[in-house]
Amino acid sequence: MPPSDAPDTEEPQAGEGQPQIVFDKVVKRFGDLTVLDHLDFSVEPGERVTLIGPSGSGKTTILRLLMTLEKITEGHIQVAGEPFSHMRRGSKLVPASEGYLREKRKSIGMVFQQFNLFPNMSVRKNVTEAPVHVLGLPKDEANARAEELLDLVGLGEKIDAHPTQLSGGQQQRVAIARALAMRPDILLLDEVTSALDPELVAGVLDVLRQVAETTDITMLCVTHEMAFARDVSHRVLMFDKGRIAEEGTPEKIFEDPEEERTKAFLSSVLDNGH
Amino acid sequence: MTWDLQFTLDSMPTLLEGLLVTVQVTAMGYLIALSLGLLIAIARRVPVAGSVLHVVMEFVRTTPLVVQLVFVFFLTPPNISGMTVGVVVIGVHYSAYTAEVYRSGIEGVAKGQWEAARALSLPATRTWGAIVLPQAIRKVIPALGNYLISMFKDTPLLIAIGVAELLTRAQQIGSASFRVVEAYTMVGFLFLLVSIPSAIIIRRLERRYAAV
Amino acid sequence: MQFLIERLPLYLDGAWVTIQLTIGGCALAFVLAMAFGILGSMKHGLPRAVATVYVEVFRGIAALVLMFWMAYALPLATGFQLNDVFAAILAVGLNVGAYGAEVVRAAINAVPRAQIEGTVALNMSWFQRTRLVVVPQAWAQMLPTFGNLVIELMKATAVAYLIGVTDLTAVADQMREATGETIVAFSGALILYYVIAQVLIFGMRLLERRANRKLGRTPPGGAGLFALLRPPKTGTKVGVAQ
């Protein structure tokens, strides 16, 4: 929920009002390894941002910090104008408690590289379980939502199948439906096609294109699919060594990059056929 | 009631004597379990006889040790002591378990090792003794160690055939003095005194050998 | 043979008591194993310490010692006399529950981290995650060892005759005393124990098969019903440090 003094973010328009996500001098270290190095950036409501860069450049860590799967080392993250990595105690900001994180991450959904479907549940249960138990949705309403979303990802007839009976691409489409069933404001996509056989990639990307076209969900996307990035994103951030090396519109980054590092990275990715 | 400290101290020597018997039974029974279990594991690879052996050991493993103890005790002539019966029956009972442990170890030895031994025309005794068993046993040392502790904790069953182990001694002291609470509580403590350090040792063994 | 047939009703009465002890002990052990196993898998130090104390104490003391303590020491210490059957159930349940708690803890810790991350992304609470995802997935891994523990528990109930419970062993002992027919008296009991064990093994394998099917796996040993009749791959007893 937006606080009373913040502008309404129900009808977000890119570039207007308050940013939805703000990274403020964010540092993330794993032991001696600095993965994010005083990172600053923000994302507008409804904006679709693609993060590219060599592996180890910190892209995935950004998504994992937003999903609260990692704890921040230094700096602050804000979501929808509210502190996210921290919470207010009196006038001070202290590291967020589990309860606070739970409240704040309500608006965020994530799709993982390895799908992470629950093998102890049917496809239907995978999609309805969290809406029923976390959002408190009535069962029939959750079911209707699941049917609608599975139709959207083209798997309406697989609703009572078991995840292991599906191909990787189908599993990933279920995972997208599962994330959307929570009606997130922000969707994090972490290399969602990297674990798929090449012939299954297009189906998943088509679904995501459709989601991008038909909703105003803010999307942060880590991918090596450059054509997809160009089609759907408003902005591309090129990462290197935990910092933003270059940013701009997809046209700018892909056609006329300024930084040597960006050029080198793009040519290496394109050479690999990705 | 109040805890009688003097009684506790006075009864310690008797209880420790009982503990010594417990340790002796465990040690001797374990030697039987280790050696007989290995023989059974190897014999189980013989066709037909091996299958019969498997059924017999399955029977031994799935029926209660205390019944086996009492059964054998009443079948043996009176000149054989309860202690001897106890050691043999516990040893045989646990060999049903150790045989399975050895078997899993032997099955875990890579097929290529057998083939290499054959390629060198090694005789069966060398194949087993120098190649298969050393590799198999190393892997199962922690599992075998666990059975030593299990066995230790099964020795109170010898009370059923009148062996003067720890629990029997406690029972005797308790009924003579009516300080039953102290007697049985001390038994519990003595058991913990042995089994908790052993559990820690086994955990060390697991870290050392299981990584291989 | 005639001997056994005549006394079969007595043996069956004894077997029924053994079955009651087994069911009661398993129910208690299961609840304790789940509760302390889950505590032991938690991040915080305090619940973990509580679980460790329970596991080490009740695994470290033999079920028979526990049983004697409850039957003979507890009434004197507290003035409260436990029913014999209840004391026996409590002792085997507490003891096997401690082994079970370690099995539950290990199975929960073996649930892949990615699955936990999936639940975070769906904003599940710790309780929802544990109930809906973690325990159902760990279940299939617990079952084979639970199967062994059920047999161990059934066998452990036999010592209850030493505190005066008239179970199958007690019946056999009475028969021996009354008739002097040691071999027949005890063979009857051993065979009935064996039959009970086989039924338990069969039941546990059915549960295992169901659990594996639920996770979309083919059960080990093949899919057919006959696979249930085959001996298990390993029949090891769960030891102390596992």
- Predicted pLDDT at A5: 46
Confidence class for position B7, pLDDT limits 50, 70, 90 = confident
Q: Flag if A69 and C136 touch (Cβ within 8 Å).
A: no
- Please answer whether residues A186 and A21 qualify as being in contact, where contact means their C-beta atoms are separated by less than 8 angstroms: yes
Complex ipTM value: 0.87
Determine the topology of domain C2-229 in CATH.
MetI-like fold (1.10.3720)
- Give backbone dihedrals phi and psi of C18, rounded to 5 degrees, phi first: -60, -40
Residue count (chain C): 242
Confidence class for position A6, pLDDT limits 50, 70, 90 = very low
Q: Flag if C182 and B74 touch (Cβ within 8 Å).
A: yes
SS3 at position A8: coil
- Predicted pLDDT at C236: 40
- Predicted pLDDT at C6: 82
Does residue C107 surpass a pLDDT of 80? Answer: yes
- Predicted pLDDT at B173: 86
Instruction: Please count the other Cβ atoms lying within 10 Å of the Cβ belonging to residue B82.
Output: 18
Domain range annotation of chain C: 2-229
The per-residue pLDDT for range A49-68, each reduced to its tens digit, is 999 999 888 899 999 999 99
Cα-atom radius of gyration of chain A, to the nearest Å?
19
Could you give the C-alpha distances from A158 to A162, A165, A171, B87, C211, in angstroms and in order? 8, 9, 10, 62, 22
Average pLDDT of A240-253? 92
The per-residue pLDDT for range B70-97, each reduced to its tens digit, is 999 999 998 999 999 999 999 999 999 9
Interface test with A, best of C111, C113, C119, C122 (most A CBs within 10 A): C122
Does residue A11 surpass a pLDDT of 50? Answer: no
- Predicted pLDDT at C219: 57
Does residue C125 surpass a pLDDT of 60? Answer: yes
The percent of residues in chain B predicted with pLDDT above 90, rounded, is 44
- Min Cα separation B68/chain C (Å): 8
- Please answer whether residues A182 and A134 qualify as being in contact, where contact means their C-beta atoms are separated by less than 8 angstroms: yes
Instruction: Please count the other Cβ atoms lying within 10 Å of the Cβ belonging to residue C49.
Output: 12
Q: Flag if C235 and B154 touch (Cβ within 8 Å).
A: no
User: Which residues in chain B are closer than 8 Å to C241, comparing Cβ atoms?
Assistant: 142, 145-146, 149, 199, 202-203, 206
Does residue B212 surpass a pLDDT of 50? Answer: no
Does residue A4 surpass a pLDDT of 50? Answer: no
The per-residue pLDDT for range A83-128, each reduced to its tens digit, is 998 998 888 889 999 889 998 898 999 999 999 999 999 999 999 9
A120 Cβ under 8 Å from any chain C Cβ: yes
Could you give the C-alpha distances from A225 to A69, A219, A253, B144, B167, in angstroms and in order? 24, 15, 14, 54, 72
- Predicted pLDDT at B210: 59
- Predicted pLDDT at A49: 96
Does residue A139 surpass a pLDDT of 60? Answer: yes
The per-residue pLDDT for range A26-37, each reduced to its tens digit, is 999 999 999 999
- Predicted pLDDT at C215: 86
- Min Cα separation C231/chain A (Å): 27
What sign does the dihedral C222-C227-C231-C232 (CA atoms) show? positive
Lowest mean pLDDT among A47-56, C13-22, C149-158: A47-56
Average pLDDT of B93-112? 92
How many Å from the N-terminal Cα to the C-terminal Cα in chain A?
39
Average pLDDT of C170-183? 90
Instruction: Please count the other Cβ atoms lying within 10 Å of the Cβ belonging to residue C155.
Output: 26
- Predicted pLDDT at B209: 74
C210 Cβ under 8 Å from any chain A Cβ: no
What sign does the dihedral C146-C151-C157-C159 (CA atoms) show? negative
- Predicted pLDDT at C162: 93
Quote the DSSP letter at residue B156. Answer: G
The per-residue pLDDT for range B20-62, each reduced to its tens digit, is 999 999 999 999 999 999 999 999 988 899 999 999 999 999 9
The per-residue pLDDT for range A149-169, each reduced to its tens digit, is 999 999 999 999 999 999 999
- Min Cα separation A58/chain C (Å): 18
Confidence class for position A2, pLDDT limits 50, 70, 90 = very low
- Predicted pLDDT at A37: 92
- Predicted pLDDT at C166: 93
Residue B94's Cβ-side half-sphere holds a number of Cα atoms within 13 Å equal to 32
**CA-to-CA distance for A263 and A159, rounded, in angstroms?**
44
Compute the C-alpha angle B71/B72/B76, nearest 5°.
125
Could you give the C-alpha distances from A161 to A114, A124, B11, B85, C104, in angstroms and in order? 19, 8, 67, 59, 29
Average pLDDT of B165-169? 87
Average pLDDT of A256-269? 90
Does residue A9 surpass a pLDDT of 70? Answer: no
- Predicted pLDDT at C216: 81
Tell which residue, B210, B41, B35, has the closest CA to residue B138: B210
pTM of the model: 0.86
SS3 content of chain C, % helix, strand, coil (to 5): 80, 0, 20
Instruction: Please state whether A57 falls in left (phi above 0), alpha (psi between -120 and 50) or beta.
Output: alpha
C216 Cβ under 8 Å from any chain A Cβ: yes
* C121, C124, C133: residue with CB nearest A179: C121
Q: Flag if C121 and A109 touch (Cβ within 8 Å).
A: yes
